[in-house]
Chain A
Amino acid sequence: MADKTEKKEKPPVVESFLAPGHRACAGCGVALAARLALNAAGQNTIVATATGCLEVFSTPYPESAWKVPWIHSLFENPSAVAAGIEVALKALGREGEANIIAQGGDGATADIGIGCLSGMFERGHNILYICYDNEAYMNTGVQRSGLTPFDSHTTTSPSGSVSWGNRTEKKPLPQIAAAHGIPYVAVATAGYPMDLQNKVKKALGIKGPKYLQVHSPCPLGWAYKPEDTIEIGRLAVLTGLYPIYEMENTEITKVRKLGKKRQPVEAYLKPQGRFRHLFSKPEGKEEIKRIQKIADGNIERFGLV
């Protein structure tokens, strides 16, 4: 029997602001992260979303899973569209009517949309930008983006007889965002849902541009079992490969330390098919060492142990 002595009465669970019936894959990290973020933001939220999985699976006309005012324009411009909404509300005397969230995937945010994103930061709009980082252009079939991690297999950075996959490390988008001097930057993962929601709530309580990057595991693109989404999210953090932290006004203010829970990178890489090539050849061990160095570097830079 459950111990109820220290529990508060919890109200019955209500439907999320991102309704079911959308066409995300079973176990989708983006669907989870977006649902959590929107619930944390609340009903009074206007959302602009980039082209990508989130937009495509949630709005097949005439259906829409969004229960808040929502707009999709193009791939690279949710930040600029949100900026237009923000100034319009000001001009119309409706400032404060709603939180304004702009969101997109890693491709939309770090690559094609980085110009508009930078402009939105630079002009100081009161907008939270959420990047759902599933580490590739997933909606178009798992092609490499600027946030695809080192040695990850994608269809445009495939592993092969003379290739170990993606040749570059992730573009440091949180640092780029922070360098603009915006008041709040945070990194979260779908693997720690409460932390994600807390960061959304905190961000929305701050005036000015905010950037939140959310590690969003993709069962299809990363090739792992859908039920492992949360576990994969945790392992990214616990190996040091995806540190989660907060920055306020260019300074790192909070990190999630790993302590005894720290894991070697293999724990994260092994369950994912996109890293399988590292384990199928003996030379792969050298690559895994290089990835471990990346993790070690993060741990040192962010003070994670």
Chain B
Amino acid sequence: MSKPVGIVTKPGSSKVNKTGSWRTTRPVFLHKNCNDCRICVMVCPDGVIFGSDSSYDADLDYCKGCGICARECPTDDIEMVLEVK
């Protein structure tokens, strides 16, 4: 049967690929000085920071550990720690 193939009909199916396995450092959200500015949410290239009400965390299944969130957090409420196995 030569039914055409080639279209991805599952939008957002990239989520099967857990890019969290890439990282060597991971962000730790201290939840101490957060002022709910959501800059971290905005500057994450992969859009993996979720939460609400001054309580945010990176989805570690996908976080690549780039460190932008920690770098940009205006209250220094995010720390990058080495992934140690």
Residues of A within 8 A of B (CB): 2-4, 7, 10-13, 15-16, 18-29, 31-32, 35-36, 58-59, 61-68, 193-194, 219, 225-231
Contact = CB atoms under 8 A, between A and B. Distances in A.
Contacts, number: 129
Contacts of A7: 36
A61 B8 CA distance: 7
Given A21-B18, A21-B62, 13 more contacts: A2-B35, A3-B35, A10-B38, A13-B52, A20-B61, A20-B62, A22-B19, A27-B64, A32-B44, A35-B46, A35-B47, A64-B8, A226-B68
Give the residue among A4, A7, A64, A193 with the most B Cβ atoms within 10 A. A64
Contacts of B11: 19, 64, 66-68
Contacts of A36: 42
A-B residue pairs, 7 tightest by C-beta: A227-B67, A27-B66, A21-B14, A26-B64, A19-B12, A65-B14, A26-B66
B47 A21 contact: no
13 contacts: A3-B35, A10-B36, A10-B53, A13-B56, A20-B47, A20-B48, A21-B17, A22-B14, A26-B22, A26-B23, A26-B66, A59-B8, A193-B42
Contact of B10 (A3, A15, A64, A229): A64
Contact of A64 (B14, B22, B49, B53): B14
B66 A63 contact: no
Interface SS majority for chain A: loop
A10 B71 contact: no
B46 A24 contact: yes
A235 B73 CA distance: 17
Given A64-B8, A64-B10, A227 B56 contact: no
A63 B8 contact: yes
A226 B66 contact: yes
Nearest to B49: A13
Contacts of A26: 22-23, 45, 64-66
Contacts of B46: 20, 22, 24, 31, 35
Contacts of A24: 45-46
A64 B65 contact: no
A142 B9 CA distance: 32
Contacts of A11: 52
